[in-house]
Amino acid sequence: MEKYVLAIDQGTTSTRAIVFDKDQKVIKVAQKEITNFFPQPGWVEQDANEIWLSTLAVIAQIFDGYEIKPEQIVSVGITNQRETTVVWDKKTGLPVYHAIVWQSRQTSDIVNKLKEEGHEPFIKEKTGLVLDPYFSASKIKWIRDNVKGVKENPDLLFGTIDTFLLWKFTCGEVHATDVTNASRTLLFNIHTLNWDKELLDLFEIPETMLPEIKDTSGVFGYIDPRHFFNQSVPITAMVGDQQAALFGESCFEKSNVKNTYGTGGFILINTGDEAIISKYGLLSTVAWKIKDEVKYALEGSIFVSGSLIQWLRDEMKFFMEAKDSEELARSVKDSGGVIVVPAFTGLGAPYWNDKCKGAIFGLTRGTSRGHLARACIEAMAYQSKDLIKVMEEDLQEKIGFIKVDGGASVNKLLVQFQSDILEIPVVKPLVAESTALGAARLSGLAVDFYKSEDFKDDEVEHYEPQMDHEEVQKLYGRWQAAVKATQEF
Ligand code: ADP
């Protein structure tokens, strides 16, 4: 009977279960959407119980039809939307409030107060992060400050989604997380790899609420047979989604980079044994810890990437489907001098300007929908170049090539332009499911189902830069001028 590894990919919009075989090929995928609640402008919440039930539902879908049987699963790996915060009562198993999602800005008052008090530099030094509502600490504090009865209750536990699912799967036996998820809480010291007493005091969070921190790959606990069709399967990996993608894309060596073009964009570079504190507002984070070996990464995020294409589709009505953007953009030979700066929600690293709004430059009477579509695709690549450049500065070295994944990486025009404008090769691996693959690899590794030698790059597309250097400089110079003008407007 063939054996498999099951990856659970609990994302912001959906929960997926993906079965991988010994050759790391996808055998079956099941998916269920989850609800997002927007109780007030800028607030984003989810129901942790719904997330748990969606996880059970996708597992059931995997075994539906009996092609795959529960006893064929050797281990489970969990990868998850990071930072999203759940607080629950260990006696009842019930969350005391909705899960506060990473995107939610409801804790900005807490964060601004701490900023004013001058705490940011020491927080950055310890955690590698910036002081921002994005991370878990202020969300826990918010729940403690705002939900009735919470401060007095000694039975409360905190977890990111990985931790909550593990606790549920083990029927309350195991309360643990891994270093990658811990490193996104603002409570974790990335140098000592432990919860930091000073940070806990600052956010007024009792240590008793916090999960035990474990390696990324290793036994976390065993799924109670009642939740897995009478099988007691080990959970042997827990890993944040972007770190999972870095592992899934085989970025094992120092300076390996992956660029995910999803709704937003995430670029991570492996920085080896060193946690580098960025001069440009990039985040320093744990990439993974396996058998006492820790790897770090620098991370930059782009707020608007593939969602720029959604905007063209839904608001501008340029096409019916995102994939049609490529054909429209190819209807013209270049963007006709048009530059789109997609600062819909301000600009992230390296600009960190949350006030500015988007802008379009270089319009003429002859500007067509094709030019605009092309300029939007190019903007996705320019934003990546901005981040790669500061990564090179922080690391004091030149990046040789990058790997790409995510929904928009099927756009060949985008990936070619990315290679042109970066003037380095861009590689797109065979398995599109790099996040789930990363979790499956880390899980299989812990039970000797996979060996690290098995983790090779299956290249499928390879892009070489084709633009001459002068043209690159001219175009990128215009992009930089446009970003400057956008911020001054
Ligand atoms: P997420 O994981 O963030 O939900 P995905 O990785 O599924 O996102 O990518 C979806 C995004 O990719 C959408 O914003 C969509 O507009 C964009 N996208 C999908 N196909 C294309 C395409 N062919 N060209 C450009 N963008 C695309």
pLDDT tens figures, 72-130: 999 999 999 999 999 999 999 999 999 999 988 899 899 999 999 999 999 999 999 98
Alpha-carbon distance values, 429 to 259, 404, 450, 460 (Å): 12, 8, 19, 5
Please give the number of the atom of ligand 1 that sits closest to the Cα of 406: 6
Q: Whose CA is nearest to atom 27 of ligand 1?
A: 408
Query: Can you tell me which atom of ligand 1 is nearest the CA of 306?
Result: 14
C-alpha span between 3 and 69 (Å, rounded): 10
Residue that the structure tokens 């992230």 belong to: 348
Q: Give kind and range of the element (H or E) at residue 4.
A: strand 4-10
Closest ligand 1 atom to Cα of 310: 16
Mutate which of 15, 261, 340 to test ligand 1's pocket (most atoms within 8 Å of Cβ)? 261
Of the candidates 357, 347, 435, the one whose C-alpha atom is nearest the C-alpha of residue 12 is: 435
Segment holding 266, helix H or strand E? strand 265-272
Burial class from Cβ neighbours inside 10 Å (0-12, 13-18, 19+) for residue 108 reads: middle
Q: Hey, which of 411, 416, 435, 437 would you mutate to test ligand 1's pocket, going by the most ligand atoms within 8 Å of its Cβ?
A: 411
Our CA angle for 367, 370, 372, nearest 5°, is 65
Segment (H or E) for 49: helix 48-63
CA distances from 349 to 90, 97, 359, 385, 390 (A): 39, 32, 18, 11, 9
Residue nearest atom 19 in ligand 1 by C-alpha distance? 408
Select from 249, 301, 309 the residue to mutate for testing ligand 1; criterion: most ligand atoms less than 8 Å from CB: 309
37 alpha carbon – ligand 1 mean position (Å): 22
Tell me if 306 sits within 8 A of 266, measured CB to CB: no
Could you tell me the domains of the chain? 4-242 (3.30.420.40)
| Ligand 1 centroid to residue 452 C-alpha, Å | 30
Buried b (16+ CB within 10 A) or exposed e, 64-86: eeeebebebbbbbbbbbbbbbbb
Atom of ligand 1 lying closest to residue 324 CA: 23
CA of 404 to the centre of ligand 1 (A): 13
How far apart CA 68 and CA 297 sit, in angstroms, is 36
Instruction: Give 119 Cα–ligand 1 centroid separation in angstroms.
Output: 37
- For ligand 1, residues with CB inside 6 Å are 13, 262-263, 306-307, 309-310, 322-323, 325-326, 406-408, 410-411
Structure tokens at 452: 């690290």
The conformation of residue 347, written as its DSSP 8-state character, comes to: B
**Residues 390 and 280 sit within 8 Å (Cβ to Cβ):** yes
Residue 144: which of 200, 186, 77 has the closest Cα?
A: 200
Positions in the chain short of pLDDT 70:
458-459
What is each CA distance from 123 to 119, 196, 199, 201, in whole angstroms?
6, 10, 8, 12
E strands, 129-264, where? 156-159, 176-178, 188-189, 194-195, 212-214, 217-222, 234-240, 257-261
**Shortest-distance atom of ligand 1 to CA 410:** 23
**Sign of the torsion angle spanned by Cα atoms 371, 375, 376, 381:** positive
Ligand 1 mean position, distance from CA 323 (Å) = 9
Q: In a 10 Å sphere around its CB, with 0-12 CB exposed, 13-18 middle and 19+ buried, how is residue 383 labelled?
A: buried
3-state per-residue secondary structure call for 283-331: EEEEEEEECCEEEEEEEEEECCCCHHHHHHHHCCCCCCCCCHHHHHHHC
How much distance in Å is there from the Cα of 259 to the middle of ligand 1?
13
- CA-nearest residue for atom 18, ligand 1, is 408
Cβ atoms 341, 303 nearer than 8 A = no
Tell me the CA–centroid distance for residue 42 and ligand 1, in Å.
23
Of the candidates 242, 60, 249, 86, which has an alpha carbon nearest to the alpha carbon of residue 159?
A: 86
Q: Which atom of ligand 1 is nearest to the CA of 309?
A: 16
The enclosing H or E element of 76 equals strand 73-80
Top mutation candidate among 12, 79, 263 for ligand 1, by most atoms within 8 Å of CB: 263
Could you tell me if 120 and 113 are in contact, meaning their C-beta atoms sit under 8 angstroms apart?
Answer: no
Ligand 1 mean position, distance from CA 376 (Å) = 13
Could you give the C-alpha distances from 43 to 36, 438, 454, in angstroms and in order?
10, 30, 43
Nearest atom in ligand 1 to the alpha carbon of residue 313 is 16
Residue 439: CB atoms within 10 A of its CB come to: 37
CA distances from 314 to 317, 318, 322, 414 (A): 5, 8, 10, 20
For residues 118 and 100, what is the distance between their CA atoms, to the nearest angstrom? Answer: 25
**Radius of gyration over alpha carbons of the chain, in Å?**
22
- Please tell me the distance between residue 86's alpha carbon and the centre of ligand 1 in angstroms: 28
| Strand 265-272 to 293-302 pairing | antiparallel
Task: Tell which phi-psi region holds residue 399, choosing left (phi > 0), alpha (psi between -120 and 50) or beta.
Answer: beta
CA of 419 from ligand 1 middle (Å) equals 19
What is the pLDDT at residue 196? 97
Residue with CA at minimum distance from ligand 1 atom 13: 306
Instruction: Tell me how crowded residue 41 is: count the other CB atoms within 10 A of its CB.
Output: 7
Cα–Cα distance between 327 and 342 in angstroms, integer? Answer: 21
The Cα–Cα gap between 169 and 189 comes to 28
Give pTM, 2 decimals.
0.90
Q: Which two tokens stand for residue 281?
A: 């507002």
Distance 179 CA to ligand 1 centre (A): 29
